[in-house]
Amino acid sequence: MNAAIIGAGIAGIAASIRLAVRGYSVDVFEANTYPGGKLSSFDQNGYRFDAGPSLFTMPHLVDELFRLAGRNPQDYFSYIRLDETCRYFWDDGTHLTAWANHDAFGREVAEKLGEPAEHLHAHLQDSARKFDVTEKLFLHRSLHKASTWLNRDALRGYWHLPRLGVFGTMNGANERRFRNPKLVQLFNRYATYNGSDPYQTPALMNIIPHLEYNIGAFFPKEGMIGITNSLVKLAEDLGVRFYYNTRVTEVMTEGKRVVELRVEHRGQTTSLSLPPAPGPLLFDVVISNMDVVNTFRKLLPNARQPERILKQPKSSSGLIFYWGIRQTFPQLGLHNIFFSNDYKTEFDYLFRRHELYHDPTIYLNITSKHKPDDAPPGCENWFILLNAPNNTGQDWDAIIAEARQNVIRKLSHNLAVDIAPLIETEAILDPRSIEFKTSSSQGALYGNSSNNRFAAFLRHANFSREFDNLYFVGGSVHPGGGIPLCLLSAKIATEIIP
Ligand code: FAD
């Protein structure tokens, strides 16, 4: 049996491994010259930067792929569990460290914010309980198969439904839980882990902190790119063939089957033919890891378009500054957040006005804290992420210029030093370039937004209803974006394949 995969994003790579383990002969076609899509990295003037994701959670989903293939994960990939998950900063001088140890974190919130530690413990327990109910129901199965809704886990889910937080907002639940608005803000930020707005997204999204605080936050010893590299190595060891610089330009169909892929390789268009069933097929199965909107719009323009799903509002995007900084900052850790003074207005700007607020929340990631060779001696590699509206044709050059000034001003204030002269190298990624580099609709980081309670049902299924041998994986389809969910999409899709 043969399978073709369109795109070597993390979900495409994971799907290739799962199919190879099942004995498929697998070809992966990737438009870029490198694998990983958003999960890639680059070097610049002596600095190394992870280009996209910086927070690694649920590492067991990566390990699972090595075990599935009968390999020892440690032979390919290693990571550490972080003692401290994040350092938080507010402009009024408040600093807070989120420790992995719940008691230490509880003491910190009591001491710095006057919030009883029990409130924190109750929140994290509630997060674990919600996750436990929803994981089996939503995350490991297709929502689009009757069997998902008619088993024991589903019945348990219905029973817990009123307490899952489907009906209120995340912000509403967090305001009821915590006294101190800073802690509300801290936990509201988890909405951004799937590109949503805490003032709109359902309280059910309070399952997200469970990943970071109860399961843990991790750091791959080679940086985030270690995830991509080790999984590509595993796939290649299993016989998967990767064709880089090879863009799929059209999916040809006949009746209820995909029969042919058109690909463009270094400017040359070739046709990989799939004879129609029941004859021998070159590819028995095609999996698209390309954003589902563009899979339909660009590769299948003549097929029926699932408009309702394709037209859903997209998640937020990101504006990233990669800065080589010629100084070290002991007060900073691997993950750092500098909060906006008006979080509500920041999200109004992002989701209603589709603009960037002048006082944005800044996420600063510094891998050289754990991997010193990512920066020259005495320097640090700063990855600065601002949540940004998705691309609707804004004047990005003007937005970037203004945002750069605002970031420099805010960080300089918080770190009590002028940052501007310390920047010795710079690269920028914005919603336009995210869209261009990974074919993500509107440059959204996580496909459709999860700003309403039906969001899970408004993502495309992991299979096509129209074509029997076409499947979908990646951040734009069920169960959603982010590395763990992308890995699960590969599991769900390949388990559906007969
Ligand atoms: P993508 O990474 O979107 O890749 C799709 C691939 O398909 C690309 O390589 C593209 O070139 C290829 N492709 C598309 N069309 C074609 C075609 N026609 N022919 C051939 N190839 C094609 N997640 C986390 O878990 N933690 C984080 O901290 C985090 N932070 C993030 C920060 C940033 C700045 C970004 C951009 C993302 C972040 N994410 C994070 C989200 C995470 O990166 C994504 O959800 C995930 O990597 C998406 O993987 P994917 O499999 O959907 O494929």
Average pLDDT over all residues of the chain: 92
The percentage of the chain sitting over the pLDDT mark of 70, rounded to a whole number, equals 90
Q: What pLDDT is stored for residue 160 in this prediction?
A: 60
For 378-394, the pLDDT digits (tens) are: 999 999 999 999 999 99
Residue 245 has pLDDT above 70, yes or no: yes
Residue 428 has pLDDT above 90, yes or no: yes
For residue 35, say if its preceding peptide bond is cis, omega within 30 degrees of 0: no
Residue 137 has pLDDT above 90, yes or no: no
For 259-315, the pLDDT digits (tens) are: 888 888 876 666 665 544 444 346 889 999 999 999 999 999 999 999 999 998 899
Taking CA atoms only, the protein residue closest to ligand 1 atom 22 is 7
For residue 289 and ligand 1, the question of a CB distance below 6 A is answered with: yes
Fold of 2-33+244-312+450-496: FAD/NAD(P)-binding domain (3.50.50)
Amino acid 17 reads I
Question: 482 C-alpha vs ligand 1 centroid, how far in Å?
Answer: 8
For residue 439 and ligand 1, the question of a CB distance below 6 A is answered with: yes
Q: What pLDDT is stored for residue 433 in this prediction?
A: 97
Q: What is the dihedral of CA 93, 99, 103, 106, to 10 degrees?
A: 30
For 159-212, the pLDDT digits (tens) are: 566 666 566 899 999 999 999 999 999 999 999 998 999 999 999 899 999 999
Counting beta carbons within 10 angstroms of the beta carbon of residue 63, is it exposed (0 to 12), middle (13 to 18) or buried (19 or more)?
A: middle
User: Which residue do the tokens 């500054």 mark?
Assistant: 321
Mutate-to-test residue for ligand 1 from 322, 362, 432, 438, highest number of ligand atoms within 8 A of CB:
438
Counting beta carbons within 10 angstroms of the beta carbon of residue 392, is it exposed (0 to 12), middle (13 to 18) or buried (19 or more)?
A: exposed
**What pLDDT band is residue 111 in, cutting at 50, 70 and 90?**
very high
What is d(CA 63, CA 413) in angstroms, rounded to the nearest whole number? 42
**What pLDDT band is residue 133 in, cutting at 50, 70 and 90?**
confident
Residue-range domain boundaries for the chain: 2-33+244-312+450-496, 40-100+217-222+316-445, 111-215
Taking CA atoms only, the protein residue closest to ligand 1 atom 42 is 482
Q: What pLDDT is stored for residue 281 in this prediction?
A: 43
Mean predicted confidence (pLDDT) in 466-488 = 96
Atom of ligand 1 nearest to the CA of 484: 25
Same fold, 2-33+244-312+450-496 and 40-100+217-222+316-445: no
CA distances from 366 to 117, 182, 474 (A): 29, 24, 27
Query: Which one, of 348, 326, 305, lies nearest residue 418 by Cα?
Result: 326
CA 46 to chain centre: 27
Contacts of 472 (CB under 8 A, 6+ apart): 287, 288, 292, 295, 460, 461, 462, 463, 464, 489, 493
For residue 40 and ligand 1, the question of a CB distance below 6 A is answered with: no
Question: 403 C-alpha vs ligand 1 centroid, how far in Å?
Answer: 24
Amino acid 330 reads P
Give the ipTM.
Answer: 0.99
Q: What pLDDT is stored for residue 275 in this prediction?
A: 45
Indicate the CATH number for domain 40-100+217-222+316-445.
Answer: 3.90.660.20
Contacts of 217 (CB under 8 A, 6+ apart): 55, 56, 57, 81, 82, 85, 86, 100, 335
Q: What pLDDT is stored for residue 453 in this prediction?
A: 64
Residue 454 has pLDDT above 80, yes or no: no
Q: What pLDDT is stored for residue 276 in this prediction?
A: 46
For residue 335 and ligand 1, the question of a CB distance below 6 A is answered with: no
Q: What pLDDT is stored for residue 260 in this prediction?
A: 82
Mutate-to-test residue for ligand 1 from 50, 266, 289, highest number of ligand atoms within 8 A of CB:
289
Indicate the SS3 state at residue 288.
strand
Residue 468 has pLDDT above 80, yes or no: yes
Q: What pLDDT is stored for residue 266 in this prediction?
A: 74
Residue 71 has pLDDT above 70, yes or no: yes
Phi, psi of 117 (to 5 degrees): -60, -30
Written as six digits, the tokens of 448 are: 């459709």
